[in-house]
Amino acid sequence: MTSTALFTDQYELTMLSAALRDGSAHRACTFEVFARRLPDGRRYGVVAGTGRFLDALRDFRFGEDELASLSFLEADTLDWLRNYRFGGDIDGYREGELFFPGSPILSVRGTFAECVILETLALSIYNHDSAIAAAATRMVSASDGRPLIEMGSRRAHEEAAVASSRVAYICGFAATSNLEAVRRHGIPGAGTSAHAFTLLHTGVDGPDEAAAFRSQIAALGVGTTLLVDTYDITAGVATAIEVAGPELGGVRIDSGDLGVLARQVRRQLDDLGATRTRIVVSGDLDEYAIASLRAEPVDTYGVGTSVVTGSGAPTAGMVYKLVEVDGIPVAKRSSHKESRGGRKRAVRLARSTGTVVEELVTKAGAPLPATDPYTVRELSVPMVRGGEIVHTATVEDARTLVAEGLRSLPWEGLGLSQGDPAVPTVFS
Amino acid sequence: MTSTALFTDQYELTMLSAALRDGSAHRACTFEVFARRLPDGRRYGVVAGTGRFLDALRDFRFGEDELASLSFLEADTLDWLRNYRFGGDIDGYREGELFFPGSPILSVRGTFAECVILETLALSIYNHDSAIAAAATRMVSASDGRPLIEMGSRRAHEEAAVASSRVAYICGFAATSNLEAVRRHGIPGAGTSAHAFTLLHTGVDGPDEAAAFRSQIAALGVGTTLLVDTYDITAGVATAIEVAGPELGGVRIDSGDLGVLARQVRRQLDDLGATRTRIVVSGDLDEYAIASLRAEPVDTYGVGTSVVTGSGAPTAGMVYKLVEVDGIPVAKRSSHKESRGGRKRAVRLARSTGTVVEELVTKAGAPLPATDPYTVRELSVPMVRGGEIVHTATVEDARTLVAEGLRSLPWEGLGLSQGDPAVPTVFS
């Protein structure tokens, strides 16, 4: 086990130290994770990171290696950390659930001491993964059912890339280029060749694209996808079919005006009898570019930079706030950053057709206001009880939930244009 | 050792497989890492990730665990990977060096097979770390010598956060909140308390800010920094000095109009005799907000989201391109994404005052054109020879280099306003 305990901000441990001295460390607390707002113009958020957070929580232990680097703490605090394991309760929205401003995505309950030190770990994972999820889901929605391949690893930190591949798959991407994500999370892998492979087949007489294509087909079979835009796309397509025959699996275009090129290449392929050869496009695609290609003969999208960077919103803006101490609601109140004190419960109201109309957030334990004629669904599920993880969900479960969530949104909530959240969050 | 070998895109291994079959895998190749352009309006880039890349290269080995997940490859390729270790040469810009569009930041030479499979690993690390570096350096430059504390871990993937802390320190930040960065990279740590600690000290009679401050001072001493904006800032400052006396180390303001509040709090502190109590501000600061506070009585900046997300440019846009095969220059030529073929050499020309005037990129081995009256500095250094890492530089070395780089820029290159690169890159 590699400990996750130092994915923590120093102030959590200095607060712990002070609270252990004055006894407040043992007060019963509730912390909640929520986002005050969605990124500019976004209509919904998508919870992601739950599975990774629960794994990281299991490994959040202070061994001697970790303690040795905490020389700013006195012995009593170090002893407390040495024996630490989270012993409280956690409830939360399931991974893949949609969320809206103020949705109480995670509720962490226990003593102040045991809860406060989880802040950075929880936020790092949820903020990163949920940012990727929001972007990926918009892309899936924009693709109108055509498969997307996540190929952005090279544009992200190497570990963030693995997490991004996992999230993109949860949100409906078909496959990833990232081999560590394939190994770690069981996601389908994809990828055939880069321009370097075509360029490698250059001799004293110049480029030999046909040799590169022959070599790739010999290794990967005629069902492979050939990259046709290293030199001249029309010549590249002609060479591809000459070498592979009309049974060629696919061609990839990675540059230029993808809409124009896709039409041109489709016509050329059809003329050559390669009517079933697929067209894969890639190159700086984001959700808007994907949507703009919907009318074109594109079969698969390869998406890189924009998905792993959250397409303009690289972090989800979630916070981890103390909302209740010994049953007393607490909240900061000096500025626009106010929070709502008190432990919360959230339900989602929907029409009988399944279309969501409202996110309703109430005080935990209080009766729900009248919700007729809508159906009511509880949004939080138990995840940890007395320190034991009781929630297990696979990436496939989360993937199903994202797809269900998209079907439940009012149609205008699926638009890419800027607007208010797809449904209002009502605090009662 | 944890292997880094699967931080790799699938297509690198399918290319390897095809190239091993047709013999081209053994051709002598040069790959180069460069950025075609800087993010919109940025005037310079900062190379970061070198140290992490060389560490990751050392651990790039395919053990049985890694090979077991590569079932799409045939036995010969798996055997080749089993015995793989990079045996070629690498030269590159040192970590902390400035760069400009087209700067040949890294040159990787060896057989096609041994070089092609490093693409994703190299780009993930350089693209992430250099994106953070560019943002962090602009913030340091904007802060005009006042210390900055990096506290953005919660807004980034947990491992990316550690890398970001390291990079921020290299670029001139004074400290980090991230305990894993403190342990792993020896960076100074910082952090005292959050609003949760003040809120924790709430009883049946309501909030008790004084109790929270007393507790923190008991644990951390009077030199600590108290967070004064949980309820009312003026009352918070009064309480802080009442509890701590005028020797209080600092107060932190985390919300509101920071410029107005800093002035008001400074006046209040001075009136209370706390003339040496420092003011720390935090809360959505980016390089522009930092610059706008230069005229205010702010002593320290705490920076979160914007630094760990690259302040609008979360990836550096570097690519890894095959530029030479058996001595023959090669380059893609079908689109605007053209590259310049052939192995390159880069020097930086400066006036006798040290101010840089030009980045000059020539063919490797060709004589330099006339460079009078400027001084000439070679930008690449040997990093790997025959697979052995020969370059060692500490984070302190890199930190020194960033500071030197900033001093070498023409003054208009240090502006935050959008513009062309601070110096032109000339290809001869």
Does residue B112 sit in the same domain as residue B22? yes
pLDDT of residue A149: 98
CA A223/CA A213 separation, integer angstroms: 12
- A42 interfacial to chain B (CB closer than 8 Å): no
- Alpha-carbon distance of B102 to A191, in angstroms, equals 27
> Could you tell me if B324 lies within 8 Å of chain A, comparing CB atoms?
no
Confidence of residue B337 (pLDDT cuts 50, 70, 90): low
Chain B hits for A153, Cβ within 8 Å? 7, 9, 120, 124
Q: Is B30 on the interface with A (CB under 8 A)?
A: no
Pair of tokens at residue B303: 């920076």
Residues of B in Cβ contact (< 8 Å) with A160 = 128, 156-157, 159-160
Of the candidates B27, B66, B179, the beta carbon closest to that of A69 is on B179
Please identify which residue in the block is written with the tokens 């919109």: B40
List pLDDT tens digits, range A113-124. Answer: 999 999 999 999
In this structure, are B258 and B324 located in the same domain? no
Q: B70 and B103, same structural domain?
A: yes
CB spacing of B309 vs A331 below 8 angstroms? no
The C-alpha of B17 sits at a distance from chain A's nearest C-alpha, in angstroms, of 7
| Judgement on whether residues A253 and A328 belong to the same structural domain of the protein | no
Distance of residue A17 Cα from the nearest chain B Cα, in angstroms: 7
Cβ-Cβ pairs closer than 8 A, A with B, add up to 339
Integer Cα distance of A264 and A257 in angstroms: 11
- Residues from chain A that touch B234, judged by Cβ atoms under 8 A, are none
Nearest CB neighbour to A9, from listed B22, B177, B236: B177
What distance in Å separates residue B356's CA from the closest CA in chain A?
Answer: 29
Rounded to an integer, what distance in angstroms lies between the CA atom of residue B177 and that of residue B191? 6
Residues A38 and A123 in one domain: yes
Q: With 70 as the cut, is the pLDDT of residue A312 above it?
A: yes
- Is-contact A254 A298, C-beta < 8 A? no
Under the banding of pLDDT at 50, 70 and 90, the label for residue B219 is: very high
User: CATH number, domain at B262?
Assistant: 3.20.20.70
Q: Give the one of A29, A191, A334 whose C-beta lies nearest to B14's C-beta.
A: A191
The residue type found at A339 is S
Domain presence at residue A412: no
Tokens 């994915």 sit at which residue? A7
B20 pLDDT more than 80: yes
d(CA B215, nearest CA chain A) in Å: 6
CB contact at 8 A, B45 and B315: no
Provide the domain count of chain A.
2
Rounded Cα gap, residues B348 and B425, in angstroms: 9
Token readout for B176 is 């980090």
Q: Which of B12, B156, B211 has its CB closest to that of A124?
A: B156
Element spanning B329, H or E? strand B328-329
d(CA A275, CA A298): 13
Q: Which residues of A touch B215 (CB under 8 A)?
A: 18-19, 21-22, 24
Asked if the Cβ–Cβ distance from B335 to A255 is below 8 Å, we say yes
**B233·A334 Cβ contact <8 A:** yes
ipTM for the predicted complex: 0.97
Most B-contacting residue of A2, A3, A10 (CB-CB within 10 A), to test interface: A10
Q: Taking a C-beta distance cutoff of 8 angstroms, is the pair B213, B250 a contact?
A: no
What is the CB-side half-sphere exposure of residue A368 using CA atoms within 13 A? 17
pLDDT-derived band at A41, boundaries 50, 70, 90: confident
CATH number at residue A128: 3.20.140.10
On whether any CB of chain B is under 8 Å from the CB of A202, the answer is yes
How many CB atoms lie under 10 A from the CB of residue B38? 20
User: Quick check: B310 and B131 in contact, CB under 8 A?
Assistant: yes
Which helix (H) or strand (E) segment is A383 a member of?
strand A380-385
* Cα separation, B143 vs B146, whole angstroms: 5
Closest-CA distance of chain A to residue B370, Å: 32
Query: Looking at CA atoms only, how far is residue B262 from chain A in angstroms?
Result: 15
Cβ contacts of A255 on chain B, cutoff 8 Å:
334-337
End-to-end CA distance of chain A: 44
| Single pTM value for the model | 0.98
Do residues B112 and B26 touch, judged by C-beta distance below 8 A? yes
Q: Which two tokens stand for residue B129?
A: 């770390």
Task: List, in order, residues 6 or more apart from B89 with CB less than 8 Å away.
Answer: B108, B109, B110, B382, B384, B385, B386
Flag whether B116 is in a domain.
yes
Per-residue pLDDT tens over the stretch A315-370? 999 999 999 999 999 998 865 555 789 999 999 999 999 999 999 999 999 999 99
Asked if the C-beta of A40 comes within 8 angstroms of chain B's C-beta atoms, the answer is: no
B20: DSSP letter = H
Show the domain range for A80.
10-132+313-338+380-400
Which pair of structure tokens corresponds to residue A212? 């590169």
Shared-domain flag, residues A322 and A208: no
State both tokens at B236.
């918070």
| A137 contacts A406 by C-beta, under 8 angstroms | yes
**Phi, psi values for residue A5, rounded to 5°:** -65, -25
Query: Is B180 an interface residue toward A (CB < 8 Å)?
Result: yes
User: Which string of b and e fits A305-331 if b means at least 16 CB within 10 Å?
Assistant: bbbbbbbbbbbbbbbbbbbbbeeebbb
Q: What is the DSSP string of B58-115?
A: HT----HHHHHT-TTS-HHHHHHHHT----SEEEEEPTT-EE-TT---EEEEEEHHHH
> What token pair was written down for B255?
């919300």
Give 3-state DSSP helix, strand, coil % of chain A, rounded to 5.
40, 20, 40
Distance CA B306, CA B282 (A): 11
Is the Cβ pair A335, B4 closer than 8 Å?
A: no
pLDDT in tens, A44-100: 999 999 999 999 999 999 999 999 999 999 999 999 999 999 999 999 999 999 999
Whether B131 maps to a domain, the answer reads: no
- Cβ A111 vs Cβ A25: under 8 Å: yes
**Closest alpha carbon within chain B to A194:** B11
Q: B118 and B38 in one domain?
A: yes
Specify if A265 maps to a domain.
Answer: yes
**What whole-number distance in Å separates Cα of residue B141 and Cα of residue B139?**
5
What is the rounded CA–CA span in Å between residue A244 and residue A403? 37
Answer yes or no: is B364 within a domain.
no
Q: For the segment B223-281, what is each residue's pLDDT rounded down to a tens digit?
A: 999 999 999 999 999 999 999 999 999 999 999 999 999 999 999 999 999 999 999 99
Contact A196 B31 (CB under 8 A): yes
Mutation choice for B interface testing from A1, A2, A12, A15 by most B CBs within 10 A: A15
Q: Chain A 277-296, CB below 8 Å of chain B: which residues?
A: 283
Q: Measured between CB atoms, which of A15, A177, A314 is closest to B193?
A: A15
Residue A125, classed as helix, strand or coil, is: helix
pLDDT given at position A1: 66
Q: Assign B340 a pLDDT band (cuts: 50, 70, 90).
A: confident
Residue where one domain finishes, among candidates A293, A328, A350: A293
Is residue A97 domain-resident?
Answer: yes
Q: Kindly state whether residue A71 falls inside one of the protein's structural domains.
A: yes
Q: Which two tokens stand for residue A403?
A: 């797809």
Judged by CB atoms closer than 8 Å, whether chains meet at B197 and A19 is answered as: yes
Nearest CA in chain A to B188: A10
Same domain for B39 and B96, yes or no, is yes
Residues in B 336-375 with any Cβ partner in A closer than 8 A: 336-337
- Contact between A132 and A124 under an 8 Å Cβ cutoff? The reply is no
* φ, ψ of residue B62 in degrees (nearest 5): -95, 100
Checking if the pLDDT of A171 tops 60, the result is yes
Q: Report residue A242 as tokens.
A: 């000459």
What pLDDT is attached to residue A310? 98
Q: Which token pair is A116?
A: 């406060």
Tokens standing for residue A133: 């999820």
Provide the strand spans (E) within A100-224: 106-111, 148-150, 175-176, 202-203, 206-207
Q: Is A64 on the interface with B (CB under 8 A)?
A: no
pLDDT grade for B428, boundaries at 50, 70 and 90: confident
Nearest-CA distance A425 → chain B (Å):
24
Q: What is the mean predicted confidence (pLDDT) over A181-206?
A: 96
Question: In whole angstroms, what is the distance from residue B36 CA to residue B57 CA?
Answer: 24
Q: Which residues of B143-154 are buried (b: 16+ CB within 10 A; e: fewer)?
A: beeebbbbbbbb
Is B37 in the same domain as B116? Answer: yes
User: Are B286 and B319 part of one and the same domain?
Assistant: no
The verdict on A275 touching B (C-beta cutoff 8 Å) is no
**B329 pLDDT above the threshold of 60:** yes
CB contact under 8 A, B315 and A21: no
Sequence-distant (6+) residues with CB within 8 A of B182 are: A6, A10, A69, B176, B188, B189
- The answer to whether residue B169 is domain-embedded is no
A248 plus A318 within the same structural domain:
no
Residue whose token pair is 């893609």: B332
3-state class of A111 per DSSP? strand
Q: For chain A, give the percent of residues with pLDDT over 90.
A: 96
Please, what is the Cα angle at A53 between A48 and A57, to 5 degrees? Answer: 170
Residue A345 dihedral angles phi and psi, to the nearest 5°: -130, 145
Q: What are phi and psi of B258, to 5 degrees?
A: -65, -35
